[in-house]
Chains A and B, each alone.
Chain A
Amino acid sequence: MTEAEGALGEVGNVGSPDRAQEDLLRLMARYETPLSAYLSLLLRQAELTQDCLQETFLRAYQQLYRGRAVNVRWLYTVARNCAIDELRHRSRVQYDFDPPDSVAAGGGESPHLLVALLSQLTAADRELLYLVDVDDLDAATIGRMLGIRPGAVRARVFRAREKFRLMYGSLEGDR
């Protein structure tokens, strides 16, 4: 997804609550599931995931109601910040996450092995791989979310992929 593909809302659409609600429902139809999965990876708790998901879409509604545009980068940034705030609130200085218990592998791979491989990566690497491979975000969007240049995003993704590839490659080599 690029920011342009995920754009909703129009600037100047002020004071039209019915239109804002329509846009909100379209946003939720499209991004509710991927945002929930992303937040669950970060937070690992269903209740926190629900809270952050609800907060993200409520803020999106407020933006739309005030005539401001909402795009995919905005959504993911708000969701990520909400998750980080939740983790900090719970006395975690540096956020970290492990894949939730429900994560399972498809295609015949052992779910436990994939979970184990992912858990060996750093939190930042896991998040990057998820955003690129699962949510299909581009480097520019991720860069704006994280406050770094697209080139830096690609370099970090490359390093994360190399680590995972070496682990995954050795897994396949054992078969």
Chain B
Amino acid sequence: MRRHTYYKALLACSRGLSRREHQRLGRHVKQCGECQELARSYATMTHALRHQRYDTPSRTVQADVLTAAFRWRVRHNRRQHRGRQVSLGGGVAVLVLAVASVSPLRGLAADTVDASVQAWFQRHHAAMSLPHDYERSTWGGAGGAPYEVNMHVGAGTGSLWWDDLERSPGPNNSLQLTNVGPSIPHLVIRMDSFGSWTPVGARAHWSLDGARHNAVVRSLPANTVPGSALGERTLGPDNAYLWDFGPLPSGGVEVVTVTLHPTDACCWSLGVLAYANLDRAGRPDPAAAIQGGQAENSGGGGPLNK
């Protein structure tokens, strides 16, 4: 016959008991008034502990974790893929995203983007794992360290296109996108930037080269954002810029070049997302998300080069 303390211990922590233990305990409790009283006491204790109020998590935990996970994945992939060469269907995918400043500039095409699209992005912001915390401040220096990002549109809608992220010296950075899959109906780029800077001014120039156009350059006029429009800002819908570049056929190469002149001091980070299709309402289709990338500027400083 088992000792009484054995059954008391089972009563104290009865979760996860085996079927045999449950049966033994049940038979014992039926016959033992002391253990019946004990069970009632433990139930009261459990009720009291469970109905206390405990601290709840912050509302930003999920976004913080997703951002940290995204950054870890970037570093992890970089370590895995460093030095790997990429060739695509007879073409070389080389898009260099040129971001030299932190100023969020509005592309001309964004003026044609429906307000509902912006609202949609606002709602899905947290799920997009966009960066919302800058890492370093940049003071001094004559210009930013150019940043090179290689991205490839994967096979089919919604496939992973992130390839590599590394820094390399050079006068400009640009985002080059090569479609290694079937044609996609819409290449929609969303860029989010954030950071803080001295409101001096900034200038951006966007150009788009398409291989399917036999290297004909389609350039957008430079955009100038006056100093009064700059200032410290955090990531938000006002900082998101959307461009619908239209269809991107298989093997097509798109290059987006952004040249921004750093202001006095700035630190920034830029998130890039691409979508391969629009939904019926004409908004970027979340099911058609290609992938996002990230670029950071570690340079900066110096007066605006107007």
Contacts and interface: CB of A to CB of B under 8 A. Distances in A.
A91 interface: no
A75 to B, nearest CB: 13
Contact of A141 (B16, B48, B53): B16
Interface residues of B, number: 39
B51 A136 contact: no
A100 B42 CA distance: 23
B170 to A, nearest CB: 29
B9 A28 contact: no
Contact of B52 (A49, A57, A103): A103
Interface in B1-21: 5, 8-13, 15-16
Residue with the greatest number of chain A CB neighbours at <10 A, chosen from B9, B47, B57: B57
Contact of B51 (A41, A54, A107, A155): A107
| Chain B binding surface SS class | helix
A158 B13 contact: yes
Interface size class of A (residues with CB under 8 A): 35 or more
A161 B12 contact: yes
A165 B54 contact: no
A138 B55 contact: no
Contact of A24 (B47, B50, B56, B69): B69
B54 A41 contact: yes
9 contacts: A2-B16, A24-B65, A33-B57, A103-B52, A129-B45, A129-B49, A153-B13, A157-B9, A158-B12
Given A100-B54, A165-B45, A168-B48, 14 more contacts: A32-B57, A36-B55, A54-B65, A104-B52, A106-B52, A106-B53, A114-B52, A134-B50, A138-B13, A139-B15, A151-B9, A158-B5, A158-B12, A158-B13
